[in-house]
């Protein structure tokens, strides 16, 4: 039996126009920037990587890897923040083993993505740094 959901639930929260969706998405990014120290730290790290990348004249493919890993880390951090907020709301800020598990797993996703980004940075930058050191001598 196929169920017809038209009219059975409210679309009040649904954005009817693209610019409304874009506005809310930008508000979300601003919120995570203002409220999450780790997100700001990750942006500082990204800024340093960009500066070093400009100094070492990264290739297009190397920039692509830097951008992909950085995007994954920032998206994971924003998702982690969202999960933490929803978990706090659902648990009413009371200790709950399921709430802890959800928060720990979400934080683990950020850690996995950060380790991946570090490995990519090491693969890209270590040969360039070693080449620079040997050319300076």
pLDDT in tens, 89-109: 999 999 999 999 999 999 999
Domain 18-136 classification at class level = mainly alpha
pLDDT on residue 114: 98
Domain ranges of the chain: 18-136
| 28 Cβ neighbours under 8 A, 6+ residues apart | 78
SS3 15: coil
* Angstrom distance (rounded) from CA 86 to CA 92: 10
Q: What is the pLDDT along the chain (137 residues), one digit of tens a residue?
A: 455 555 555 566 677 899 999 999 999 999 999 999 999 999 999 999 999 999 999 999 999 999 999 999 999 999 999 999 999 999 999 999 999 999 999 999 999 999 999 999 999 999 999 999 999 87
pTM of the predicted structure, to 2 decimals: 0.86
Percent of the residues in the chain that have a pLDDT greater than 70, as a whole number:
91
Which residue's structure tokens are 């990348």?
A: 53
Tell me which DSSP letter residue 96 carries: -
């Amino acid at each position: 039996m196929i169920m017809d959901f038209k009219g059975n639930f409210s679309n009040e929260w649904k954005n009817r126009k693209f610019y409304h969706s874009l506005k809310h998405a930008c508000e979300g990014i601003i919120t995570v920037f203002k409220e999450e120290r780790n997100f700001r730290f990750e942006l500082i790290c990204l800024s340093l990587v960009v500066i070093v990348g400009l100094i070492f004249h990264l290739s297009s493919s190397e920039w692509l890897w830097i951008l992909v890993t950085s995007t994954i880390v920032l998206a994971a951090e924003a998702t982690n923040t969202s999960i933490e907020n929803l978990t706090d709301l659902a648990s009413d800020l009371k200790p709950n083993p399921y709430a802890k598990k959800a928060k720990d797993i979400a934080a683990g996703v950020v850690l996995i993505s950060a380790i991946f980004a570090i490995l990519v940075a090491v693969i890209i930058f270590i040969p360039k740094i070693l080449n620079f050191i040997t050319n300076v001598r």
